[in-house]
Structure 1
Amino acid sequence: MTTPTGEPAGDLALRRVAVPALDPESLFDVEVAHGRFRRIEPVAPRTAGEPAVELWPGYVEAHAHLALPANFDDSLDDPRLIALQYLYHGVTHLADLFGFPLVQSRWDAGRAQSAFPYPELVHCGYAATAVRDSSGRTGHGVEFPSPVFMLGTGEDLAAVLHANRERGGSFLKVMFTDGTEQPEMAVRFARLAPEVLAHTARVTREQGVPAVLDCNTREEVLAAYALGFRLFAHPVRDVELSERDWHELAGARFVSTLGGLRPMVMDRAEFLREYGRPGFRETQDGANLDFVQAVEEPFGIRYGCQDTRTAALATMRANNLAALRRGQLLVGTDCGNTGAFHGYSLLGELDLLAAAPETGGALREELRRAATVENWRFFQELAGRPATGHPLTVGDPATFNLFSAPATAHAPLSVLPDTTVVRGTTIDRPALAREIRALRASASNGKVVL
């Protein structure tokens, strides 16, 4: 099934593979021709526990920031390298929720020259946030090294939407949080005025522009939901939502983002365990391992937020699993935040979710389905396309991951796929690693300055 790097795959034929995203109780024959699925047909029942190669859609990163530096020294990896990092881990689609126009020219140039098929990408342009308030606080997002638009009045929204459309953005990212994560915390950021948020909800709905909100607290989410928002970039992190809350939030979806917050509270041993999985040394800057080797205490202790951040993570995990049970969870990492690495951290996110009290095969399948099928539908929605289809459909591009039988039954969810196929091309993972090493060995060390 392996083909030379970058060359379109010929006809592929997979016999008696499991396709849990379509039917966990059947085995399928799958055929690919000219880069598209020609046949996906159930051919036999799959008995409980029967080992079989599993075919899943490609992973989708639901919350990324390509213009933010994930490395501990604040260096930014070349977008050409970031694309390969995603491919290496079987991530075939990603949603950039903050500042992609800063790196777009480099991404596009790399894609045009690459021997590998790039992941598909959808982005918002630049995010929108609040103006400075009377206490001198700016809206969340201004503190990052990437531009944001500021909404002082409802009239500002038209200019923001137009500017992002000109930059290729197909949805709107709205920062609507005061920065509190646990009860009694001090407010950190200015927040959009209620009338501006209401205007944003009405206009985006009328224009058919998906809007993703950055919220932290139950209060923020309920207020935004009441105005019509349904897509939230993070789970609620101040309190565990009640059954009544979930009833009131019917149809809302939340991106998990445990991986973006957890590096703040990790000690040296936890860092080394987290970054010791296969794929890190092959795709990421080794200087990050040198850095965490020298960590003496978690950043949360250094900055006085260890307890509140630890509590926020526990609350987020509980709300994520509650959302998963209701079909309202999307899987994303907030990667680009320091310590949350492109591609690598999405697989780790699955482990963080599965490490919660619930265990077992059913949870594993639900999490993989969320990170593939549900995330793919989210991706289509953000791109302005119908979100009711399925990524494994006859006639559509053949993009998928294969996992060996032992991996599906016993390995952590972060295990690398055995095979990744992108639009009919089988990815040569060793060749990817060599290309990443070559970029890191170049004069730029695989870095860019924006």
Structure 2
Amino acid sequence: MTYSFPLLLLMAVLGLLPPGCSPPFATNEADLLLENGMLVDPGTQTLVKRTLLLRHGRVARVYVTPPASYAGPRLDVAGRYLLPGLTDMHIHAVGNLGPGSPADTMTVAEVTRRQLYCGVMRTLDLFNDEARVLAARNAQRARPGPSADLYCAGPALTCAGGHGTEYAIPTRTINSPAEATRVVNALAAQHPDVVKVIYDHYATWMPTIDQATLVAALRTAHQHRLKTVVHVGTWQDVRDALQAGATAVTHVPPDALPADIGPLFLRHGAYFIPALAVQTELAHFARDSSLLDDPLLRAVSSPALRRSYRSESGYSPGLQAFVRWQRQHEATVQQSVRTLGQQGVRLLAGTDAGNPGTFQGYSLHRELELLAAAGLSNWAVLAAATTQASTFFGEPAGFAPGSPANFLVLRQSPVSAVQHARAIDYIIQRGRLIDRQKLLTP
């Protein structure tokens, strides 16, 4: 192949291209040979040097040494690390909200492009305007482009006046087992990727569905072979959700972890999405505003929004109370996550992005750091954002032939430090190099 930009290619091989630069050659080729990369496989916890042949969006061959006979486009990534693309398992694709009036509003398409810029190749939206988010997902799947692959629940199923109804977003309510069955049957016709249910007895200032309605909603979803994610507030909520057959539960109750919860997760084979970012980051920003100076965050958020986080005195009374709550409960929340991880519960990385204290794309990197700070091994953290997420969706992940060719090419090893997952030189989606800078163009 004759490269259009030989100088850029040489700079790429030598490691001289700045982050976010354009690809070193045209990205519309069917084949691409990635030479001499260190393959980081969280599923097998292995780190080996290999060459990958990517063909039509998937891994076609794995070589110990580059094949001499190959004549197509190639990129030598020697000294770099290949990691399967990241997944954020809990977002709301509405942009970024601040503690005051500034906000970075975005379309769903803009959110998924910001996510991809940050190396997040798949997102699960767990509550949004149903028509809006399902239409965006369907359009994306009809004509895939450079953006994070969007999965979604559509509405959040809750009771009248329950959590989820306080936003200016229409949702579906279920106030009885019969209504839950009827609503989930109707929702299934829209082909959501999961069904999201609110079951929260911690927020006592708002009503929630009863246990019989939860059971009916999950049972009906499973009859349609739909996975389910339950928003919980207490450990009893977790028990009820797992016994009702939830595929996953999200959020960490602030009380000490009861001894039976880990074994209950394992018995039911369910997943846990802690979403530490939404439960801790406001307090972190209030304590250390230098967190807002991160180059990756600056690339995907506005200066006005970041300024709104710099002084806790500018937060609304409600958010100031939430900061105090986060400070009070963070250590207990960390201990619960650490214990469940040590017990072998399948953890998934999610941020609840779209809420104050979170940023689309960037906050997943913070989630990785927060999970590591809670005491999980770096391998476990990386698996929560890569191979475990693929297992949840029933999709292959890793580097075996047939796996999707969705990789981050990193300058440093994420196994030695998970924050190295943001040291992105290249993003490869469906076997093609992505021009990162174009992802930020309106």
TM-score > 0.5 by shorter chain: yes
- Map of 1:203 onto structure 2: 220
- Map of 2:148 onto structure 1: 119
- Map of 1:60 onto structure 2: 87
Q: Does 1:141 align with 2:155?
A: no
Give the distance between the partners of 1:113 and 1:204, measured in 2 at CA. Answer: 25
Give the distance between the partners of 1:6 and 1:105, measured in 2 at CA. Answer: 29
Once the 2 structures are TM-superposed, how far is the Cα of residue 54 of structure 1 from its aligned partner?
A: 2.0
Q: Does 1:90 align with 2:107?
A: no
Letter of the aligned partner of 2:346 in structure 1? Q
1:93 counterpart SS class:
strand
Alignment match of 2:183 (pick from 160, 172, 185): 160
Once the 2 structures are TM-superposed, how far is the Cα of residue 12 of structure 1 from its aligned partner?
A: 1.9
CA RMSD of aligned residues (A): 3.1
1:282 counterpart SS class:
helix
Give the distance between the partners of 1:59 and 1:70, measured in 2 at CA. Answer: 22
Once the 2 structures are TM-superposed, how far is the Cα of residue 23 of structure 1 from its aligned partner?
A: 5.0
Give the distance between the partners of 1:367 and 1:108, measured in 2 at CA. Answer: 27
Contact 1:232 1:255 in 2 (8 A): yes
CA deviation vs aligned residue, 1:157-176 (integer Å, no higher than 9, x gap)? 24322443343413210000
Once the 2 structures are TM-superposed, how far is the Cα of residue 216 of structure 1 from its aligned partner?
A: 1.7
- Map of 2:297 onto structure 1: 280
1:56 counterpart SS class:
strand
Once the 2 structures are TM-superposed, how far is the Cα of residue 352 of structure 1 from its aligned partner?
A: 1.4
CA deviation vs aligned residue, 1:296-324 (integer Å, no higher than 9, x gap)? 26667864354433233332222222233
Alignment match of 1:34 (pick from 21, 36, 56): 56
Letter of the aligned partner of 1:179 in structure 2? Y
- Map of 1:130 onto structure 2: 159
- Shift in CA distance, 295/195, structure 1 to aligned 2, threshold 3 Å: closer
Contact 1:213 1:231 in 2 (8 A): yes
- Map of 2:333 onto structure 1: 316
- Map of 1:404 onto structure 2: 411
1:7 counterpart SS class:
coil
Percent of aligned positions that are identical: 21
Letter of the aligned partner of 2:52 in structure 1? V
1:179 counterpart SS class:
coil
- Shift in CA distance, 152/19, structure 1 to aligned 2, threshold 3 Å: same
2:38 counterpart SS class:
strand
Once the 2 structures are TM-superposed, how far is the Cα of residue 399 of structure 1 from its aligned partner?
A: 0.7
Contact 1:5 1:115 in 2 (8 A): no
- Map of 1:334 onto structure 2: 352
Once the 2 structures are TM-superposed, how far is the Cα of residue 264 of structure 1 from its aligned partner?
A: 3.8
- Map of 2:386 onto structure 1: 372
2:209 counterpart SS class:
coil
2:202 counterpart SS class:
coil
CA deviation vs aligned residue, 1:391-445 (integer Å, no higher than 9, x gap)? 4331343111122246654573452322110101211223334x1xxx2xxxxxx
Alignment match of 2:193 (pick from 159, 167, 170): 170
- Shift in CA distance, 287/110, structure 1 to aligned 2, threshold 3 Å: farther
Contact 1:100 1:124 in 2 (8 A): no
Once the 2 structures are TM-superposed, how far is the Cα of residue 91 of structure 1 from its aligned partner?
A: 0.6
Give the distance between the partners of 1:302 and 1:23, measured in 2 at CA. Answer: 40
- Map of 2:369 onto structure 1: 351
Once the 2 structures are TM-superposed, how far is the Cα of residue 40 of structure 1 from its aligned partner?
A: 2.6
TM-score (norm 2): 0.81
Instruction: Out of 92-101 and 292-301, give the one that drifted further.
Output: 292-301
- Map of 2:430 onto structure 1: 423
- Shift in CA distance, 310/63, structure 1 to aligned 2, threshold 3 Å: same
Contact 1:300 1:306 in 2 (8 A): no
Q: Does 1:18 align with 2:39?
A: yes
1:249 counterpart SS class:
helix
Once the 2 structures are TM-superposed, how far is the Cα of residue 327 of structure 1 from its aligned partner?
A: 4.1
Letter of the aligned partner of 2:399 in structure 1? L
2:255 counterpart SS class:
coil
1:38 counterpart SS class:
strand
2:50 counterpart SS class:
strand
Instruction: Out of 114-123 and 30-39, give the one that drifted further.
Output: 114-123
2:321 counterpart SS class:
coil
1:287 counterpart SS class:
helix
Once the 2 structures are TM-superposed, how far is the Cα of residue 294 of structure 1 from its aligned partner?
A: 4.4
Give the distance between the partners of 1:202 and 1:408, measured in 2 at CA. Answer: 39
Alignment match of 1:234 (pick from 232, 240, 251): 251
Structure 1 unaligned runs (5+)? Answer: 45-50, 132-137, 181-186, 381-385, 440-450
Contact 1:26 1:42 in 2 (8 A): no
How many pairs are equivalent?
404
- Map of 2:12 onto structure 1: none
Give the distance between the partners of 1:411 and 1:126, measured in 2 at CA. Answer: 33
Once the 2 structures are TM-superposed, how far is the Cα of residue 116 of structure 1 from its aligned partner?
A: 4.9
